[in-house]
Chain A
């Protein structure tokens, strides 16, 4: 039955639920596995699939010889807990039945692509790979291998390709040393082991003459384009001519970003920044581009007071005394606004709230947790520059800035007036108040908070906010497993 005969009416609240539990991605995995495997009994197949489904990582690491892919994959596997697979340990861990079947090819090192894929498939379906994810190093080496891998239904979620100048790689290879005991790789200048005992047992790897290396580089360069063409949707190239730690961090950053999902998200955005950081500008730009609701807490309060609603009347005396308005009045106001249909179905961008951790928790409690949080970082001096030089022409209503947008004539210059609150001491207290509370909010939104450099041109700031919205939030690996 298709959509037109049986329209599915889904209540807006379900969108929140689906987003929280990643229902869309779950469906996607279920359907793609069904289509790949085409089981005779789809129900049992789905039951089995859901039982072991954990959405674990699937990474391929490729690179020219001497680019450090072995070392980096090892580090990566240590950090993420994923199982490291390379051609040697794949063959070793093969079950005997497969070993006997392919013994001739293994001896002659002439495994065909489909045979390789059979081995890999066998391995990645094992419990530990399914559970913890896998990192496949240095495979596929050729285009037929890549195609065989994909057509058997093994799709990497991320493909890391290390790149580097040939001359740099040759130079690197010259200093390469191997620990014969466990196969770890070191380098005479860049990566020399600390312990004396390891230093002493290091040997120069065999088959590492320059001639041999040039040969294998040529082979690599011949095949890599074809391989990448198959995997281009998930590929990221990383230059290895940098310190090992930097390269590693780039890779980790890449693989901890889940692949971009096609799921529709309802944006629920918080902009947190000091007075003058451009929250209002950015919020209205976002609202315009994505057709989401721009919710400003100050406007909301003013509106409530002007309409003399119950809450508005309660707020009025606080406003008149210029006293802070208690959360018990602001939160219900906000809950009411964000609970309206336009906010629920189209999404919202909120600024001016929360101002402290309590308020952030209040949002969460009322089921209004944001899915993107931006901290607009800007030095206080830039704020001063932005605000204290702001002037208004009382006759035309035009706004000028002494530095960025000066008035064209002396006549206008003379009649300009400044807002009474645009004075340095007032702004200074506002900024200081912000910085005393923002720390707690940074802690609170540790996992989803994104820091934006707001001391830039508004369009540039807007672009960085956009990229934060479009890309999924990276998942965090526990710090205690950090190596190196």
Chain B
């Protein structure tokens, strides 16, 4: 096998991994394992993949470690006095901490620097779903 052929093969493999978002998939499986430490990791990965598949078929939310409650409590931490809004900087940092980098930079309330809980929740959920949906949408 010539060098050129090997390079082509490598590129092919990388292309494949990228197209099917395998790296993200593996990352998510790892977080799932780290968080749950299941007794039987194989079964648990299968279960995760089954859920992911179902969400792809039925267009549901993909499995995710964060639930609405968690997101609400993040908001609560940033807004300890219960004013009902956070600043844009807090909003951006919170999303980045969740691993979301591709978020709406102009959410409702940007102009007053007061971002309401529902805007934050919507953005966080959208972002998390994007991260966790490690498959190609069926056209």
Q: A interface vs B, CB < 8 Å?
A: 1-2, 5-6, 8, 10-11, 14, 17-18, 21, 23, 26-27, 30-31, 34-35, 38, 42-44, 46-47, 50-51, 53, 147
Contacts and interface: CB of A to CB of B under 8 A. Distances in A.
Interface stretch (B14-22, B72-80, B115-123): B14-22
A17 B135 CA distance: 28
A412 to B, nearest CB: 61
B53 A44 contact: yes
B139 to A, nearest CB: 14
A379 B84 CA distance: 77
Query: What is the predominant secondary structure among interface residues of chain A facing chain B?
Result: helix
Interface in B23-37: 23-27, 30-31, 33-34, 37
A50 B46 contact: yes
B93 interface: no
A6 B99 contact: yes
Contact of B45 (A8, A18, A50): A50
A31 B26 contact: yes
B94 interface: no
Given A1-B131, A35-B16, 10 more contacts: A8-B30, A14-B34, A21-B41, A34-B17, A35-B13, A43-B56, A46-B45, A47-B50, A50-B42, A51-B46
Given A5-B101, A14-B34, A26 B41 contact: yes
Contacts of B30: 8, 10
Contact of A43 (B1, B53, B131): B53
B52 interface: yes
B27 A38 contact: no
Most chain B beta-carbon neighbours within 10 Å: one of A23, A27, A42, A44? A42
A38 B16 contact: yes
A42 B34 CA distance: 22
B49 interface: yes
Contacts of B33: 14, 17-18, 23
Given A14-B37, A44-B53, A47-B50, A27 B26 contact: yes
Contacts, number: 62
Given A1-B27, A34-B22, A26 B49 contact: no
Contacts of B99: 6
Nearest to A27: B26
A147 B22 CA distance: 28
Nearest to B24: A1
A26 B42 contact: yes
Contacts of A23: 33, 41
Nearest to A36: B13
A42 B13 contact: no
A121 B104 CA distance: 51
A272 B70 CA distance: 49
Contacts of A21: 41
Contacts of A18: 33
Contacts of B135: 42-43
Contact of B37 (A1, A17, A34, A35): A17
B27 A46 contact: no
Contacts of A27: 26
A43 B13 CA distance: 17
Contacts of A147: 1
A1 B53 CA distance: 21
Nearest to B135: A43
Interface in B89-104: 99, 101
A11 B52 CA distance: 25
B34 A10 contact: yes
Contacts of A47: 46, 49-50, 53
Contacts of B56: 43
Given A14-B37, A23-B33, A42 B42 contact: no
30 contacts: A1-B24, A1-B131, A2-B23, A6-B27, A8-B27, A10-B30, A10-B34, A14-B33, A14-B34, A14-B37, A17-B33, A17-B37, A21-B41, A23-B33, A23-B41, A26-B41, A27-B26, A30-B26, A34-B16, A35-B13, A35-B16, A38-B12, A42-B22, A43-B49, A43-B52, A46-B49, A47-B50, A50-B42, A50-B49, A51-B46
A51 B46 CA distance: 8
